[in-house]
Amino acid sequence: MDAIGLFEQASSDLFGVWFLMGAVLVFFMQAGFAMVETGFTRAKNAGNIIMKNLMDFCIGTVVFLLIGFNLMMAEDTLFGFVGIPNLNLFTDFANFPWSSFVFNLVFCATAATIVSGAMAERTKFNAYLIYSGIISCLIYPIEAGWIWNSNGWLFKMGFIDFAGSSAIHMVGGITALIGAKLLGPRIGKYTKGKDGKTVVHAIPGHSLTLGALGVFILWFGWYGFNGAAATQVGQLAQIFGTTTIAAGFATVTTMIFTWLKNGKPDVSMTLNGSLAGLVAITAPCANVDAFGAIIIGIVAGFLVVLAVEYIDIKLHIDDPVGAVAVHGANGLWGTLAVGLFNIYESDGITKGLFYGGGVEQLMKQFIGVLAIGAWTAITMYVVFTIIKKTNGLRVTPAEEIEGLDVSEHGLASSYADFMPVTNSYGGLVGSAPSNELIEEKVSVSSVSMDEAVPVEYNFPGNSLVKPKITKVTIITRQSKFDELKSAMNAIEVTGMTVIQVVGCGLQKGSSQYYRGVPVEINLLPKIQVEIVVTKVPVERVIEAAKKALYTGNIGDGKIFIYNVEDVIKIRTGETGYDAMQGEE
């Protein structure tokens, strides 16, 4: 073999390996979807969402191997509409196209998992598993075969969707829209105002950190998503470039748009903007130049904001993560954008409208999205309707309020710090140090149970005779605890109980938005510090606390003062002032 032949062989092998490595990157995107959906929803449903994202891929593997792959990529098709299944996996194992199977499997799982976020927090787990199996087995493979099987009717027509803006994202977005509509909104999302109009309520997700992590994972995986099918180094570099450009411009556009619109840049919407740009560039990534990628990204940045707000505020369809806007609306836009910005022409493919090719390619793109959209809408409406009328789609109101982690999976919480556990004696304990969970040794000064009880209750009679006992409860920022503790130590108050709580309230006159919807109530992490004093004047405690906690900003907190009727020390049976000694 000559040098040219060796180079061609090496290039072929290299891109064969890259093809599979790209599939691995797409698989890793499952983690990204799981993090985005978990972060943008409430903590009480985190385990349920993780489970759904895991099972999307696992169930998809089973049904795609047995049925879906043959429907999608079989050499023999029924008029270019559906592959004719064969038994090559079992009869000709050595020659089975494993690379093609693995590659198309990870994309199939992506189409299925898009729907999870839109139907989050109120869907029966078993109903979701049924849906996931059906879309991976039938719905996705058939329409994807139209586009990527060389015998598919859209492929032969010259329809272009290089990496799946329509085949994967638009299909997932349409399915999410139908599922969320038939399922209904989360409890409390929409209510009727006094004027009879529907009032939209913001339900913020519990962790933007997780959401951002998910977006970064997805962006990283998208280089495999868009680039895995590249066959030349130059083409791969172009795909990486257009993918990055579109996502970057979309993100900046969304940030500026929400900033001008709401007065502050919306974090969750900007994260959605990144995904919107990635979705929109997926179909044209190998067919557009830098200018085309810029325009596609800018439009995607505007489109995701407008679509999220229209679906939520106008259509009153509850989509917690914005899946319909990100994947549905921008999958449609990205596919049509090929007909506007395509820079190449070949047999059956013409340049885009803005590059002198006229409307021919745009019409092909339009026919393609119309056919794929109709197929998906009709079949998924039938699927969800049947599931709703037989198995049922939605959990009960009580289960939804409690959270799907408990009702569907038996998880007290997905976060260990908030999970009640029992010690070896069966007692309920919190996240205390281990030395607090064992029986303390009896010291010389300890008092036996017989001496400690019965307790004599000394209810206060004349307040002038009995020392006054006062409880001071302080709710403030977590970051101010060290300053508060130091201030209390300085006035000889050393005993306090500290609890992590969530502060609820909204300062009058403030205007805050979450995904374009006014936030009525802020839930912010706080600490609640309780101090019971007798010897130290309560006025000194209050003044010290005020000086330590004051910043002049909203959220400094509040101090509550209570009169305590009596105090009883369990170990000794002492009451009142005596019970408090050694505790402050």
Taking only the tens place, the pLDDT of each residue in 510-536 is 567 777 787 765 556 788 899 888 888
pLDDT given for residue 428 in this prediction: 33
Q: Which of 27-31, 53-57, 504-508, 554-558 has the lowest mean pLDDT?
A: 504-508
The residues, ordered by sequence, that sit 6+ positions from 359 with a Cβ below 8 Å of its Cβ are 339, 353
Checking if the pLDDT of 584 tops 80, the result is: no
d(CA 362, CA 345): 13
pLDDT in tens, 358-373: 999 999 999 999 999 9
Long-range contacts of 411-417 (CB under 8 A, 24+ apart): 411/47, 413/43, 413/44, 414/43, 414/46, 414/47, 414/50, 415/43, 415/46
Checking if the pLDDT of 443 tops 80, the result is: no
pLDDT given for residue 252 in this prediction: 98
pLDDT given for residue 575 in this prediction: 82
Q: What mean pLDDT comes out for the span 537-552?
A: 87
Q: Tell me the average pLDDT of the chain.
A: 86
Q: How far is CA 529 from CA 475, 485, 557, 583, in A?
A: 6, 10, 11, 15
Q: CB-based burial of residue 564 (10 Å sphere; 0-12 exposed, 13-18 middle, 19+ buried)?
A: middle
Closest to 361 measured CA to CA, from 369, 424, 309, 539? 369
Contact 287, 267 (CB under 8 A): no
What is the helix (H) or strand (E) element at residue 6, kind and residue range?
A: helix 3-39
Q: How far is CA 102 from CA 23, 164, 351, 450, 577, in A?
A: 7, 16, 32, 73, 74
Q: How large is the angle between the packed helices 208-227 and 233-262, nearest 10 degrees?
A: 150
Closest to 123 measured CA to CA, from 387, 440, 374, 469? 387
d(CA 268, CA 207): 10
d(CA 62, CA 109): 11
Token pair recorded at residue 465: 């005779």
Q: Which residue has the tokens 């809408």?
A: 377
d(CA 75, CA 349): 23
Token pair recorded at residue 241: 């470039």
pLDDT in tens, 52-80: 999 999 999 999 999 999 999 988 778 88
The residues, ordered by sequence, that sit 6+ positions from 373 with a Cβ below 8 Å of its Cβ are 170, 174, 332
Which residues face 82 on adjacent strands?
Answer: 78
Question: Residues 41, 173, 171, 215: is their CA dihedral positive or negative?
Answer: negative
d(CA 160, CA 173): 19
d(CA 476, CA 157): 65
What is the helix (H) or strand (E) element at residue 533, kind and residue range?
A: strand 522-533
Q: How far is CA 293 from CA 158, 276, 288, in A?
A: 21, 13, 6
Q: How large is the angle between the packed helices 208-227 and 3-39, nearest 10 degrees?
A: 160
The residues, ordered by sequence, that sit 6+ positions from 429 with a Cβ below 8 Å of its Cβ are 420, 421, 422, 423, 437
Amino acid occupying residue 446 = S
pLDDT given for residue 85 in this prediction: 82
Token pair recorded at residue 457: 């209750």
Contact 304, 325 (CB under 8 A): yes
pLDDT given for residue 182 in this prediction: 97
pLDDT given for residue 425 in this prediction: 32
Checking if the pLDDT of 87 tops 80, the result is: no
Residue 545, phi then psi, degrees to nearest 5: -65, -45
pLDDT given for residue 423 in this prediction: 34
Q: What mean pLDDT comes out for the span 185-192?
A: 94
Q: How large is the angle between the packed helices 125-134 and 360-389, nearest 10 degrees?
A: 140
Q: Which of 186-200, 226-240, 430-444, 551-565 has the lowest mean pLDDT?
A: 430-444
The residues, ordered by sequence, that sit 6+ positions from 565 with a Cβ below 8 Å of its Cβ are 459, 460, 469
pLDDT given for residue 110 in this prediction: 94
| Residue 449 DSSP symbol | H
The residues, ordered by sequence, that sit 6+ positions from 196 with a Cβ below 8 Å of its Cβ are none
pLDDT given for residue 184 in this prediction: 96
The residues, ordered by sequence, that sit 6+ positions from 203 with a Cβ below 8 Å of its Cβ are 42, 186, 188, 189, 320
Closest to 202 measured CA to CA, from 502, 507, 508, 519? 519
